[in-house]
């Protein structure tokens, strides 16, 4: 049974990294603490402008190839439960929506700067550090290539004949791993995993 909660963990990691970037230190003072960052499409006026995160899966595959991994938090402590490692890749989508084209363009500019220059810019360093933290999901976002999704104009999701929403999107590729219990598919925390560099039946290394 393949766990699907890794997608939630991945998206929440991105939201956790992105949200503080629009706080008291955001470069556009009139947008400080006003940008909604979340996992759901914003449905209310108070949630605009917004950046909501989606994820498009492209591949899931078993790491396999002869290695065994164990969960020592379950079982009797002597014979731990075997767990499965899965590898994924896909695309993280940053969807920008605003009620005017200026706010859309300013958020677009800020987001591109975070992705493109965050590794070396003190202003955006926390974004890079946080997005690469590992808890339930080990992920490696590829920050060296940004895929533009194009600008859009459409109706707002509430009843209004006078308002429009202005959108834009950017995406980055991501690779990663997660661990789950074979019998249930339950996600396992990475720091609870011990990896052994030998096959079943072979003599244990002297450091085990």
Residues 39/10, Cβ–Cβ less than 8 Å: no
Domain annotation covers residue 208: no
Alpha-carbon distance 149 to 170, whole Å?
5
CA distance readout (Å), 42 to 45, 87, 100, 155: 8, 31, 15, 13
What range does the domain containing 134 cover? 5-195
Between strands 164-180 and 81-98, the pairing is: antiparallel
Domain annotation covers residue 202: no
Q: How many domains does the chain have?
A: 1
In this prediction, residue 168 carries a pLDDT of 97
In this prediction, residue 131 carries a pLDDT of 79
Burial group, residue 111, by CB count within 10 angstroms (0-12, 13-18, 19+):
buried
Domain annotation covers residue 204: no
Domain annotation covers residue 205: no
Domain annotation covers residue 82: yes
Domain annotation covers residue 86: yes
Domain annotation covers residue 156: yes
In this prediction, residue 69 carries a pLDDT of 67
In this prediction, residue 134 carries a pLDDT of 66
Residues 141/173, Cβ–Cβ less than 8 Å: yes
Q: What is the pLDDT along the chain (208 residues), one digit of tens a residue?
A: 455 578 888 888 899 899 999 999 899 999 999 999 999 999 999 999 999 999 999 998 877 665 566 666 555 555 666 777 788 999 999 999 999 999 999 999 999 999 998 778 888 888 888 877 766 578 889 989 999 999 999 999 999 889 999 999 999 999 988 876 555 555 555 554 455 555 555 665 554 4
In this prediction, residue 128 carries a pLDDT of 83
In this prediction, residue 207 carries a pLDDT of 45
- The helix, strand and coil proportions of the chain, stated in percent and rounded to the nearest 5, come to 25, 35, 40
In this prediction, residue 87 carries a pLDDT of 87
In this prediction, residue 208 carries a pLDDT of 47
Domain annotation covers residue 71: yes
Query: Rounded to two decimals, what is the model's pTM?
Result: 0.80
In this prediction, residue 136 carries a pLDDT of 59
């Amino acid at each position: 049974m393949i766990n699907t909660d890794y997608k939630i963990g991945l998206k929440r990691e991105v939201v956790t990294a992105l949200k503080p970037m629009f706080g008291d230190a955001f470069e556009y003072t009139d947008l400080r603490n006003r940008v909604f960052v979340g996992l759901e499409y914003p449905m209310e006026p108070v949630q605009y402008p917004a950046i909501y995160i989606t994820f498009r899966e492209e591949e899931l595959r078993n790491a396999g190839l002869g290695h065994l991994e164990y969960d020592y938090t379950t079982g009797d402590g002597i014979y731990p439960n075997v767990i499965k490692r899965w590898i994924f890749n896909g695309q993280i989508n940053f969807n920008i929506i605003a009620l005017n084209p200026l706010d859309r363009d300013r958020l677009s500019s800020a987001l591109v700067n975070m992705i493109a220059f965050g590794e070396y810019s003190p202003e955006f360093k926390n974004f890079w550090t946080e997005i690469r933290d590992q808890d339930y999901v080990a992920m490696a976002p590829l920050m060296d290539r940004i895929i533009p999704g194009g600008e859009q104009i459409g109706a707002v999701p509430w009843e209004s004949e006078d308002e429009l929403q202005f959108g834009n999107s950017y995406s980055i590729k991501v690779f990663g791993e997660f661990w789950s219990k074979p019998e249930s598919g339950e996600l396992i925390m990475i720091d609870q995993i011990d990896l052994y560099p030998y096959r079943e039946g072979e003599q244990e290394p002297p450091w085990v």
